[in-house]
């Protein structure tokens, strides 16, 4: 039988560590250009890594919300329509609100889990679990 210290050490190894930083959560603004009929977002992989979500999920959400077909090519998102950066930034903020930021404590330390076919945001900071309304 393990003693208390060994059990505690095992428990801490299984717990996900959350940074205690109090800095403000600020999503990087979209960088890119319009080329002909296409909008090219060059820093989409940086945004995905900052939000700690899969690039494919963010891309799929943007395509659905902006009603534009697109593809990922060389860490860039190419959307088949002309868009201004303000509109794309608004949709990324909507994505963060729905899929990243905890509605209880407003921290971005969440993970997406699925239970019985329903997706939830599980907050690693406060432990809250809230359903995700958008289907992706």
Pick one of 3.40.50.720, 3.65.10.10, 3.40.50.300, 3.30.30.170 as the CATH number of 29-100: 3.30.30.170
| Pick from 32, 30, 43, 27: nearest CA to 97 | 27
In 18-54, where does DSSP find H-type helix?
Answer: 44-51
Q: At 61, is the secondary structure helix, strand, or coil?
A: helix
pLDDT tens per residue, range 44-59: 999 999 999 999 999 9
> What CA–CA distance (Å, rounded) separates 110 from 23?
16
Residue-range domain boundaries for the chain: 29-100, 102-136
In 1-136, where does DSSP find H-type helix?
Answer: 4-14, 44-51, 55-66, 85-99
> What CA–CA distance (Å, rounded) separates 45 from 90?
17
pLDDT of residue 61: 92
pLDDT at 80 exceeding the cut of 50: yes
How much is the mean pLDDT over the chain? Answer: 86
């Amino acid at each position: 039988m393990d003693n208390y210290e060994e059990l505690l050490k095992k428990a801490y190894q299984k717990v996900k560590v959350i940074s205690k930083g109090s800095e403000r959560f600020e999503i990087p603004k979209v960088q890119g250009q319009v080329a002909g009929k296409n909008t090219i977002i060059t820093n989409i992989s940086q945004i995905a890594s900052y939000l700690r979500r899969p690039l494919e999920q963010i891309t799929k959400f943007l395509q659905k919300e902006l009603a534009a077909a697109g593809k990922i090519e060389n860490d860039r998102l190419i959307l088949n329509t002309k868009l201004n950066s303000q509109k794309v930034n608004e949709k990324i903020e909507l994505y963060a609100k729905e899929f990243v930021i905890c509605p209880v404590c407003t921290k971005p330390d969440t993970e997406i889990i699925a239970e019985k076919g329903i997706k939830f945001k599980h907050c690693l900071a406060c432990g809250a679990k809230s359903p995700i309304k958008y289907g992706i």
